[in-house]
Chain A
Amino acid sequence: MIIDMHMHLDDVPSLGWELSAETCIRAMDEAEVDSAVVMGIADLPGGTNPGAMELIIDACDRFPGRFYGFIRLNPRHRDESLKLLARAVGELGFRGLKLHPVSTLAHPGEPATIALIQAAGELGVPTLFHCGDEPLTTPLSIAPAATACPDAKIILGHMGGYRHVDEAIDVAERHPNIILETSAMPYPEKIREAIDRIGADRVIFGSDGPVSSPALERQKVVRAGLTEEEARLVLGGTASTLLGVS
């Protein structure tokens, strides 16, 4: 089972984003991806698309088994976000939390962010961070959150972007609750290195699609030269466990 752990589904014309479920499905089919984690572009509550959550629920209903939702929240609205998280996971079937400090300007180590990550951990779902080269998103900026929430799974989306990949692997080596996600970062050999250093069960495939190609992103994993068992874990095995799907 191939699972893409990082896709976007939203409708925010004011930002130029119109990412429909059908567009995601086309990209997934092109890459022979069975299922994908989908999240919005806009942060809730409020934000540029207050209906982002309903859009994901609708996509999950219309394409059963193809999509698993992550709720994208803004720690700046701490109490509302905690309530939304509990409802999304407890009642609406969401499988994780997405945090994007570039759009929320909330530092990964600040108390409101920690409270959300801890709540996600208590609900049994992982937190996916945008982890790239910008301030607030680098691996060392996120590391304090991993220390503060040792029982929560934290996924570093993009595993450090262009220039923080070595740092992401280093941080993951020192924090067993961190998992690296491969989307967009352009170095196949770093997937190999990450597996050698932290294990294939802590590196997961993602594409950041549909605007980046899941088919191409999958080839990055192929180029990394994995064993059959490593590839099974990276391309879906570990994701199945994280998402609680069989």
Chain B
Amino acid sequence: MAIDALCFIGISRFGYELDAEVVLREFDTEGISTAVVAPMHPPHGDMATVNMELARIVRNSGGRFLAAVRVDPWDAAAAVEQVTGAVTEGGARALFLHPDEEHFRINDVRVRPIAERANELRVPVVVATGFHCVSEAVQVGRFAQWCPDVPVIMTNGGQLNISGLGQFDAELALRLPNVHILTSGVYRDDFLERTVKTFGADRVLFASAAPQFDVAYEKRRVHQVHLTDAERDLLLSGNAERIFGIGEVAR
């Protein structure tokens, strides 16, 4: 069974939505046991409320969802406290940051307290990456230096570029040992294969990023890449188990 390292639940201010029951049915069809889920940017903009709602959905999911707390760095100290509360009391297993939707630059010094709190709490950080000016891979790399003891995981292979021009910056960021990538939306087989070969299969995780991307198609993407069975197992589940402590849920 596979683990989806990132999908989104709820209704987004930006015109998309995904219901927990709907995605679980799709996971059943696609052989996905568990997913790390983040809330969407809500129409009302109140992150604390959507994090609480997500925590309720996660509690009722029978262990199939793990929460990623999502905060808006413009909430300053309150954002840092939301991270702390969600991890220490709410059981969140990851922090999710979306520089494009929350309109901040990932390597802005105002984000640093959030990175440092994640580091203290030993909670991995997933960053929506590849967005021009706010979350280019090298900018995420700078952020990753502020939380060196936790995995920093870039969505979309660290890029959103159909010429492949983002690959070079993604590889620069991957030179930092705590930087990882998600497979969501990566159209270049050779980039994923090269990343595994150069940086190790333990640095790449399958994610659908649904509803932005299509669950079945994104899972097939991982099966299409030319890897050994052991490498593919790491991408599909082993890395997520290790990074998000998913085995601990079962225990």
Q: Which A residues are within 8 Å of any B CB, using their own CB?
A: 102, 130, 132-134, 137, 158, 161-163, 183-189, 208, 211-213, 215-216, 219-220, 223
Say yes or no for B75: interface residue by CB 8 A criterion: no
| Residue of chain B at shortest CB distance from A159 | B162
CB contacts (< 8 Å) of B214 on chain A: these are: 186-189, 223
Contact A102 B189 (CB under 8 A): no
A132: contacting residue among B162, B217, B218, CB under 8 A: B162
Nearest CB of chain B from residue A135's CB, rounded to whole Å? 10
Beyond known contacts A211-B188, A211-B190, A213-B189: 11 more, CB 8 A cutoff: A102-B165, A183-B187, A185-B162, A186-B218, A187-B213, A211-B189, A212-B187, A215-B224, A216-B220, A216-B224, A219-B217
Say yes or no for B160: interface residue by CB 8 A criterion: yes
Say yes or no for B221: interface residue by CB 8 A criterion: yes
Say yes or no for B163: interface residue by CB 8 A criterion: yes
| 18 A-B pairs in the complex with CB atoms less than 8 angstroms apart | A132-B161, A133-B161, A133-B162, A134-B163, A134-B165, A161-B161, A163-B160, A183-B187, A185-B162, A185-B187, A186-B187, A186-B217, A211-B188, A211-B190, A212-B188, A213-B225, A216-B220, A219-B220
CB contacts (< 8 Å) of B225 on chain A: these are: 213
| Residue of chain A at shortest CB distance from B164 | A211
Say yes or no for B216: interface residue by CB 8 A criterion: yes
Interface size class of B (residues with CB under 8 A): 20 to 34
Most interface-central of A162, A189, A208 (chain B CB within 10 A): A162
Please report the C-alpha to C-alpha distance between residue A153 and residue B7 in the assembled complex, in whole angstroms: 39
CB contacts (< 8 Å) of B188 on chain A: these are: 211-212
From residue 162 to 207 of chain B, which have CB atoms closer than 8 A to chain A?
Answer: 162-165, 185, 187-191
Contact B187 A184 (CB under 8 A): yes
Contact A162 B185 (CB under 8 A): yes
CB contacts (< 8 Å) of B165 on chain A: these are: 102, 134
CB contacts (< 8 Å) of A137 on chain B: these are: 163
| Residue of chain B at shortest CB distance from A27 | B189
Most interface-central of B130, B156, B161, B191 (chain A CB within 10 A): B161
Please report the C-alpha to C-alpha distance between residue A183 and residue B162 in the assembled complex, in whole angstroms: 9
CB contacts (< 8 Å) of A133 on chain B: these are: 160-162
Please report the C-alpha to C-alpha distance between residue A96 and residue B105 in the assembled complex, in whole angstroms: 42
Please report the C-alpha to C-alpha distance between residue A161 and residue B185 in the assembled complex, in whole angstroms: 11
CB contacts (< 8 Å) of A158 on chain B: these are: 162
| Residue of chain A at shortest CB distance from B211 | A189
CB contacts (< 8 Å) of B217 on chain A: these are: 186, 188, 216, 219-220, 223
| Residue of chain B at shortest CB distance from A160 | B162
CB contacts (< 8 Å) of A185 on chain B: these are: 162, 187
Please report the C-alpha to C-alpha distance between residue A211 and residue B160 in the assembled complex, in whole angstroms: 16
Please report the C-alpha to C-alpha distance between residue A65 and residue B160 in the assembled complex, in whole angstroms: 35
Please report the C-alpha to C-alpha distance between residue A31 and residue B163 in the assembled complex, in whole angstroms: 22
Most interface-central of A161, A187, A212 (chain B CB within 10 A): A212
Contact A132 B163 (CB under 8 A): yes
A162: contacting residue among B160, B218, B224, CB under 8 A: B160
Contact A184 B162 (CB under 8 A): yes
Nearest CB of chain A from residue B208's CB, rounded to whole Å? 11
Contact B163 A102 (CB under 8 A): yes
| Residue of chain B at shortest CB distance from A137 | B163
Contact B162 A161 (CB under 8 A): yes
CB contacts (< 8 Å) of A183 on chain B: these are: 187
Please report the C-alpha to C-alpha distance between residue A162 and residue B209 in the assembled complex, in whole angstroms: 13
Please report the C-alpha to C-alpha distance between residue A189 and residue B130 in the assembled complex, in whole angstroms: 22
